[in-house]
A and B are shown apart, each in its own frame.
Chain A
């Protein structure tokens, strides 16, 4: 039996759940199924998947969860300590018990996709799938074939959302499950919001998450988008995020990837209106045999648009990292500034990084640059710290944290920054406590 067939059979078994759905959803589900069937899973012969082998997904047999039971105590421990409007999904199934939308203003809608469809499915039909169609990748097609649940966020024009909107995705241990959530965000003109996607779960879990996100920013909207990926180390995680930016919008992505056995992120931003600005910040940390693949693309489709990208990778043990960043400037999109930087730190001899920073430019009045470096910790810097009485392990830890710091310093939500810092520090080869590090850092300043 082919790998594709296992998934198609699961889909068939699921079809009784889809009998009552509106015709437009049925049509898209069919299109997704047909496309997935035609494409099959990508192989390393596909340029887009040259460095990432998805056989662990293709050869898996994942069930679809039908309940959202989760221990409240475990959930509480996993939940980010941030005062936020919160939607929680357990293996893709919405959990109202673990969600909290208290005091959500009427100008903001945060609701599970199933509810949004039940209330007014036509309002969802327009934007859903507009940015990420079934042709984007086999995984987008697969997601469309299986789509059932997800989050819909609508922000009315002019609204400043005071608290972050937190979408929490929990992964359970036990039988391998898969989920195909959709995230749909419509940020109205001049609105301001912070969106957090948080992936986490029970450490023994071995599930497959295949999320598709579509974010639309209307004129003047500002959106900060955190994707904190702390999935269990056995989880397989594929995310396709597509952002559409109108005039004078500002989008900032914080892509923080710590967990997962196999992680693939596709992040695309279309700068369609003058004055639009996009910022991609990324930090990925790999250890053991983790595989982390980040593909980003900025499309400068309009003149006077700006992009800034900074991705940092730290790889230990036999981890494999991939960075593929592309800056595209459309013909006649003049007065563009596009900057891209990717730096990678290899902590072990068997760690591996494949980097490909690309520029594709069809206009002349542009300032575009990219830089990428790969290396190890600077022995002279370690020596300098040691001459100040800091032991080698601490020195290495400090320098690794400093390396991550360039991205983490820009993280404005302290709870997230601290969490990532702790994770990086805690996973460093020479284990030490962060408190000791902080003390050491303070004593350096004295």
Chain B
């Protein structure tokens, strides 16, 4: 104990002698209170925000990394990570598509991504190629007329401190879990959406179109608030493989839905999964939670998870409001040496709350995948209803598929159903397709897409088309 106190004393002294050059763009690796002070200062945050971050950091120090997930990875050295780096300047980026890895371009080709978008995705200095500024400006005007606020979280902290104070950390408290605490301490980027009472957001919102979002941060923080009778559909990520040098990602997403509000949150995650031995892939530890605070509110999560070496992610709904609805639709695909432990939590608190879970997992290669879910029915959730379907498809005999659904039911008027199946693609299904002149590869792709249909149809249209193509690319070489 004594040595710990000593260490803290030493640190405090160091704080006073804090000399890091504020003009520099990148912090050396390491994490302490000075790092956080630097980030906060760099972002021009008010004092209360710094306190909030430091509180999270101090709680994080007392926490232990969770070990319950069905994942296997070496311990992460948090001192070897750099917690702040400004976006690359245009002159440091590839100047044209010719300088980009041809393999990446090949994938874009297969996914059918328009030429001008390819450049943006590959990190080419986009301004010369693709006029994103004007597109964004048009959108901003439309949103402004509707009264919708859509900006980066840093801007929101600066421009809408009252909203941030009111909502930030109320769905995912700073010390909710190890990775959420880390995120709260060091987040540098993310989105903020506020839809005022009675407004239906005139367009689907996507970080992809948000200006300044060329480099998604390593520790993203997203906050979406829908007031009474407001509606929004938010898209996160994109289907193209994202180039990213950061190995550890720990994002936090908070959604708040008031009376009769509806938030639809769709994710397509396709970060680098690592090479065939699983080396170098992204570690993705995400805390996503929606709070159905209002009566008859509804939050819907849809996710297509194909990337990352490690995925640790459980988008959840707290169903507080009477008759509120939580939904979770997920397709997770793992190949190579990928590992995914993902699922959802539905916490039924209010009367007449309903939740619906459809999770489809596809494991191929030497990958391992788990569905982990919790359905909790509180004593006051009269007439609560849950239906869960989770199916796993195994491709190849070296992969694993697991389900760990928890059900905690404390109310006799609740009706809970859970179904899970695990199987491989049937020989008879393949034979049937092949006897009609469909190649084996196309047949597998058809069957897999059919397997995922229930989820894909929940995706916004363009996303769904891309997701199907993405699935085929991810599973390429897994069959045959």
Contact = CB atoms under 8 A, between A and B. Distances in A.
A369 interface: yes
A376 B68 CA distance: 33
B402 interface: yes
A228 interface: no
Contacts of A157: none
Contacts of B423: 366-368
Contacts of A354: 406-409
Interface in A336-355: 344, 346-355
A370 B403 contact: yes
22 contacts: A331-B400, A346-B414, A348-B412, A349-B412, A350-B379, A353-B407, A353-B408, A354-B406, A356-B404, A357-B403, A359-B422, A361-B392, A361-B401, A363-B394, A364-B394, A364-B424, A366-B423, A368-B421, A368-B422, A372-B405, A372-B417, A373-B416
Contacts of A174: none
Contact of A374 (B404, B416, B421): B416
Q: In the A-B complex, list the 3 residue pairs whose CB atoms are closest, starting with the nearest.
A: A346-B412, A364-B394, A355-B407
Contacts of A332: 397
Given A350-B412, A371-B417, 9 more contacts: A331-B397, A344-B409, A347-B412, A348-B412, A352-B408, A359-B401, A361-B392, A372-B416, A373-B418
B4 interface: no
Nearest to A358: B404
Nearest to B417: A373
A391 interface: no
A375 B416 contact: yes
Residue among B68, B398, B406, B414 with the highest chain A CB neighbour number at 10 A: B406
Contacts of A351: 412
B412 A376 contact: yes
A352 B397 contact: no
A293 to B, nearest CB: 13
Contacts of A21: none
A446 interface: no
B405 to A, nearest CB: 6
A353 B394 contact: no
Nearest to B369: A361
B402 A358 contact: yes
Contacts of A350: 379, 410, 412
| Residue in B404, B412, B424 whose Cβ sees the most chain A Cβ within 10 Å | B412
B396 interface: yes
A361 B422 contact: yes
Contacts of B401: 359, 361
Contacts, number: 116
B177 interface: no
A334 interface: yes
Given A366-B422, A369-B419, A356 B407 contact: yes
A432 interface: no
Contacts of A439: none
A367 B408 CA distance: 27
B367 to A, nearest CB: 11
Nearest to B385: A375
Contact of A361 (B400, B407, B408, B411): B400
A364 B415 contact: no
A183 to B, nearest CB: 31
B399 interface: yes
Residue of A47, A348, A369 with highest tally of chain B CB at under 10 A: A369
Contacts of A376: 412-413, 415
Q: Is the interface of A mostly helix, strand, loop or mixed?
A: strand
A375 B416 CA distance: 6
A358 B68 CA distance: 15
Nearest to A327: B422
A356 B409 contact: no
A362 interface: yes
B394 A366 contact: yes
Of A331, A364, A376, which is in contact with the most chain B CB atoms at under 10 Å from its CB? Answer: A364
Interface in B372-410: 379, 392, 394-410
Interface of A: 47, 51, 331-332, 334, 344, 346-376
Contact of B411 (A331, A334, A346, A363): A346
A347 to B, nearest CB: 7
A372 B416 CA distance: 8
A351 B409 CA distance: 8
A370 B421 CA distance: 6
A364 B416 contact: no
B290 to A, nearest CB: 24
Interface string B352-379: 0000000000000000000000000001
Contact of B420 (A51, A352, A357, A363): A357
A43 B83 CA distance: 38
Given A346-B412, A371-B419, A374-B409, A358 B403 contact: yes
Given A364-B424, A374-B414, A374-B415, A356 B405 contact: yes
B420 A370 contact: yes
A357 B414 CA distance: 18
A360 B402 contact: yes
Nearest to B368: A362
Nearest to A373: B417
B409 A372 contact: no
A375 B414 contact: yes
Given A349-B411, A376-B415, A371 B420 contact: yes
A444 B421 CA distance: 37
Nearest to A369: B421
B33 to A, nearest CB: 31
A331, A351, A359, A363 pick with most chain B CB within 10 angstroms: A359
A348 B395 CA distance: 44
Nearest to B382: A349
Nearest to A375: B415
Interface in B298-356: none
Contacts of A348: 412
Nearest to A360: B402
B417 A334 contact: no
Contacts of B405: 356-358, 372
Given A366-B422, A376-B415, A360 B400 contact: yes
Contacts of B413: 349, 376
A363 B392 CA distance: 12
B69 to A, nearest CB: 12
Given A354-B409, A357-B405, A368-B422, A363 B414 contact: no
B130 to A, nearest CB: 43
Contact of A362 (B400, B409, B412): B400
Nearest to A346: B412
B420 A364 contact: no
Given A358-B403, A367-B423, A375-B414, A346 B409 contact: yes
A355 B68 CA distance: 18
Given A357-B420, A375-B414, A375-B416, A47 B68 contact: yes
B397 A364 contact: yes
A431 B426 CA distance: 51
Contacts of B421: 367-369
Given A358-B402, A361-B422, A334 B397 contact: yes
A365 B402 CA distance: 15
A358 B404 CA distance: 5
Contacts of B415: 373-376
A369 B420 contact: yes
Contacts of A363: 394, 397
Contacts of A347: 412
Nearest to B410: A352
B410 A365 contact: no
Contacts of A366: 394, 422-424
A352 B401 CA distance: 29
A133 B400 CA distance: 28
B156 to A, nearest CB: 39
Nearest to B376: A354
Nearest to B414: A374
A48 to B, nearest CB: 12
A116 to B, nearest CB: 41
Contacts of A365: 397, 424
